[in-house]
Amino acid sequence: MTMKRINFFLLTVLLVPSMHLFAQTDTLSAAYESKSVKNFSDVIGWKDGEMPKAPAGFTVTKYADGLENPRKIYVLPNGDVLVAEASTIKTGVMKVGAEVLGAAKSENKHVSVNRITLLRDTKGSGKADVKETFLEGLDQPFGMLLIGDQLYVANTGALLRYPYRTGETKITEKPVKIMDLQAGKHNRHWTRNIITNADESKIYIAVGSGTNVAEDGMANEIMRANILEINKDGSGLKTYASGLRNPVGMAWAPGTHTLWAAVNERDELGDHLVPDYFTSVKPGGFYGWPYCYWGQHIDTRVKALQSDLVKSAIVPDISLGNHVAPLGMIFYTRNEFPAKYHNGAFIAEHGSWNSSVLQGYKVVFIPFRDGKPSDQPEDFLTGFIANMDKNQVHGRPVDIAMLADGSILVTDDVTNTIWRIKADK
């Protein structure tokens, strides 16, 4: 190589690090290969007799309706079901956020009811016949977690703790604030999910990014796009994993000590980018946001490139597809479903807004063997898309929970419904 060519090579590397230092070979499309579009679905609801479709051998019924933006569901030990009802609050600084909010052409309500409702099936009919306001006056509640006789509730801006007595239908005591959570005026991903570990000594909090790709500055993203770890009293705060743009669903793979999360990736790079994903979460791991995606693919919109972080970015385990907006997830730890579903993962895909063709709007299943995925995602609960050509959908799945009888519940926030899926005997 001549000296002239060597100098040109060095200059190119210095000026265009994203093209050379972090090259990665795979099948991802190039950024802006297709035009980025805003394509909100039109929610038309469910007529009498219409419902989502499960595979042969399963029955879908309505567990509850008449709610207001039912999002996260949490099943208490006595079988009561808590439902966090909240929605995105439209403000002058909220730019998009449809992957979490449920934005659609037919949606014009942006008032969050900010409550948790208790549902109870007293007759064993598979349908809730008791509906009571359990907690109110909250601030965009989402995650719920019972440890002993203490109920933790994750508002968008704070983690709270309430005393809980088995069987009560309303909590009136004032909460203890465990810690503040980053919210602020740029709060595009407002949900805060919470889980605990096997010995219930720690709490893990999923906090999404405030913006798409830190376009309002990294000062707005402090302690965001992370999964945080704390002690039950709020002490010992540390970042369990980072660079996760919007991790919502979290759970530990059965028989392991490995945390898994469903993550919404970034928008506005075109139809074919970026894959949303389901991944194991390594303690201390960095997953790319905002500097890069799917390993070392540089996002050139982010100016302050952090080379060391990019080099360390972990490639996610499972691609769920572009713009599907995965939210809630569970591992199926009962035996009532057929054997193929045992210990596998169910993930609710809320659906696209940044794709010219509707993506997501379903629940998918990923089989697991020995604590690891054994195959690619497959459709489980479908029928949410009513007319692809007209961008019409019946509803949008958000979260999943498992009942003691082995059936699962799926919230549909835009039609205020909770569906129950039961295996036929």
Instruction: Identify the pLDDT of residue 25.
Output: 54
Model pTM?
A: 0.90
Instruction: Identify the pLDDT of residue 425.
Output: 81
154 in a structural domain:
yes
Distance, C-alpha 300 to centroid of its chain: 25
13 in a structural domain:
no
118 in a structural domain:
yes
**Interstrand relation of 42-43 and 392-393 (parallel, antiparallel or unpaired):** parallel
Instruction: Identify the pLDDT of residue 185.
Output: 83
Q: To which H or E segment does residue 101 belong?
A: helix 98-101
Residue-wise DSSP of 58-96? EEEEEEE-S-SSEEEEEE-TTS-EEEEE--PPP-TT---
Provide the strand spans (E) within 253-295: 259-264, 275-281, 292-293
Task: Give the C-alpha distances (Å, rounded to integers) separating 55 from 141, 225, 421.
Answer: 33, 35, 10
Query: pLDDT tens per residue, the chain (425 residues)?
Result: 443 333 333 333 333 333 334 445 567 999 999 999 999 999 999 999 999 999 999 999 999 999 999 999 999 999 999 999 999 876 433 333 333 334 444 344 568 999 999 999 999 999 999 999 999 999 999 999 999 999 999 999 999 999 999 999 999 999 999 999 999 889 999 999 999 999 999 999 999 999 999 999 999 999 999 999 999 999 999 999 999 999 999 999 999 999 999 999 999 999 999 999 999 999 999 999 999 999 999 999 998 888 899 999 999 999 999 999 999 999 999 999 999 999 999 999 999 999 999 999 999 999 999 999 999 999 999 999 999 999 999 999 999 999 999 999 999 999 999 999 999 98
Instruction: Identify the pLDDT of residue 393.
Output: 98
Work out how many domains the chain is built from and give that number: 1
Instruction: Identify the pLDDT of residue 110.
Output: 61
Q: Within a 13 Å sphere around the CA of 124, how many CA atoms are in the beta-carbon half? A: 2
Instruction: Identify the pLDDT of residue 270.
Output: 96
Separation between Cα atoms, residue 422 and residue 425, nearest integer Å: 9
6 in a structural domain:
no
Domain that holds residue 364: 31-423
Using DSSP, state whether 307 is helix, strand or coil: helix
Please report, for the domain that includes residue 284, its CATH number: 2.120.10.30
Separation between Cα atoms, residue 159 and residue 365, nearest integer Å: 31
18 in a structural domain:
no
21 in a structural domain:
no
Separation between Cα atoms, residue 23 and residue 155, nearest integer Å: 40
9 in a structural domain:
no
185 in a structural domain:
yes
